[in-house]
Structures are given as structure tokens and as C-alpha cells.
A and B are shown apart, each in its own frame.
Chain A
Amino acid sequence: GAVVSQHPSWVICKSGTSVKIECRSLDFQATTMFWYRQFPKQSLMLMATSNEGSKATYEQGVEKDKFLINHASLTLSTLTVTSAHPEDSSFYICSARDLLSSGPTYEQYFGPGTRLTVT
């Protein structure tokens, strides 16, 4: 199946700094990517939809100025957590849809996740 990678796999940053997480589709093109956040022992929460060449759309309650999303190419989306605080510590996961798949049966391919710890 298709592969989605994330970098870094884990990161520790100091409170007040910004951190960027990359999501890449390795063997397919993705016009749409999705970003999720997962706190310990909880389910995945959809944060935003990243659209290549246009602005991301955010789910209700997600601060767009804090979680900056850029989808500059068909294989790369980035999530930047700005002015990070300890409560932003979480597991961030991206997913991508294959551009060439269509209709209702397409799958979403998930990345391995990035563990962010803000100290």
C-alpha cells in the first residue's frame, strides 16, 4: 500500500518556541492531507484539512493561528505549532488521500505519527 512518512518521529521543544512537523506521501500524490491530534488514552481528533495550493480548513475549536498548515506540493504538508506550550504536547498524525483514487471507496493512508513534548 501507499506510504506516508512524518518527520520528525519525536521532538522535544521548550515552551514558547515553534516546531514544524512534516508529512510526506512517498509514492503517490495527495491534493488533500489531514492532520490529527491524539492525547494519551484518547482517540484521534481531526484538527484540519490541508489542501494543496490553498488555505487549510480547520475544525471547530482549533486555533488556526497556533497550528499553521502549509501544503506547498502534492507530496508535502507541514504543521507548525507556534508558541508551543506544555498543553500542546501530544501525538500528531497526518493522513493523505491518493490523488488518483476517486469515489467513495478510497482509503486514507496514515503516517506513523510525531510525538511532541513541550517542556
Chain B
Amino acid sequence: DAKTTQPPSMDCAEGRAANLPCNHSTISGNEYVYWYRQIHSQGPQYIIHGLKNNETNEMASLIITEDRKSSTLILPHATLRDTAVYYCIVRAFVNFNKFYFGSGTKLNVKP
């Protein structure tokens, strides 16, 4: 699976959009980009995933560059409850494949 690089931490004002970048320059054509988050002392929570098209759900939007070497997770209106560590994971299309977590980005949403 491709390696990902994320900034260790970011701050965001409550109510503003949070844009979390992820670099995955070695991504292969069959690898998907997944985003999970982990609120302190809880299990990770699925947010969104995509292959090459931009994706949106009720939680967030995922923007993947045309060359697929990087992506951005957008939380449109961050709240204090969005404070968490956000993990960008790249995983190949192989059944039963595993998730390997990188170091993630600690998002601090401030009032």
C-alpha cells in the first residue's frame, strides 16, 4: 500500500471549513483513498473514501487531484466535536486487505 504524508496538526475556527491535506505520491491505479478519524480514546470512525472522482457525503467532501498524488478532506462547517486525529489511508483493491494507519493529523477546532 502507498505511503501517506499528513501534517501533524492543524487548527480551525469553529464554523469554518477545515481542509486537511494528504500526500500519496506513490499511489497506484488500483488504490483507494480512505479517511478515518479518531476522537480521543475511541475507535476510529469512517468518514469517506474515493478512487479518482471527488466524493461528498453527510460528513465531508473528498477532493482528489487529477494525478491522484494528493487529496484533501473538507469538513465544511467544523464544530468542536470534530476535534480528532484524522487519518488518510491508501489501500489496494484486494479482498480482505488490511488498513495500515499513518501518523495522521490532529485537528484542533477552536471556539
Interface residues in chain A, defined as those with a beta carbon under 8 Å from any beta carbon in chain B: 1, 4, 6, 32, 34, 36, 43-46, 49, 91, 93, 95, 97, 102-105, 107-113, 115
B93 touches A104 (CB 8 A): yes
A-binding residues in B (CB < 8 A) = 30, 32, 36, 38, 41-46, 49, 51, 87, 91, 93, 95-96, 98-104
Distance in angstroms between the alpha carbons of A105 and B99 in the assembled complex: 13
What secondary structure prevails in chain B residues at the interface with A? loop
Whole-angstrom distance between the alpha carbons of A109 and B103 in the complex? 20
- In the assembled complex, the CB of A26 is this many whole angstroms from the nearest CB of chain B, namely 13
- What total of A-B pairs shows CB separation below 8 Å? 55
Chain A contact residues, majority secondary structure: strand
CB-nearest residue of chain B to A97: B96
A49 to B45, CA, bound (A): 19
Q: Are B95 and A113 in contact (CB under 8 A)?
A: no
Q: Apart from A104-B91, A110-B43, what 12 extra A-B contacts exist at CB < 8 Å?
A: A34-B99, A43-B103, A49-B98, A93-B43, A95-B44, A97-B96, A104-B30, A104-B32, A108-B46, A110-B36, A112-B43, A113-B41
CB distance from B97 to the nearest CB of A (A): 9
Q: How far is the CB of B46 from chain A (nearest CB, A)?
A: 5
Q: For residue B8, give the distance in angstroms from its CB to the closest CB of chain A.
A: 11
Q: List 12 A-B contacts (CB under 8 A).
A: A34-B98, A34-B99, A43-B101, A44-B44, A44-B101, A49-B98, A104-B32, A108-B99, A110-B43, A111-B43, A113-B41, A113-B42
Chain A residues whose CB sits within 8 angstroms of the CB of B32 once the complex forms: 104-105
- Chain B residues contacting A34 (CB-CB under 8 Å) are 98-99
User: Residues of A contacting B49 with CB < 8 Å?
Assistant: 105, 107
B-side contacts of A104, CB under 8 Å = 30, 32, 51, 91, 93
Residue of B nearest to A6 (CB): B43
Q: Is the CB of B43 within 8 A of A113?
A: yes
Q: Is the CB of A49 within 8 A of B99?
A: no
User: If the complex has contacts A43-B87, A95-B99, are A110 and B41 also in contact, measured as CB distance less than 8 A?
Assistant: no
Q: What distance in Å separates the Cβ of A107 from its nearest Cβ neighbour in chain B?
A: 5
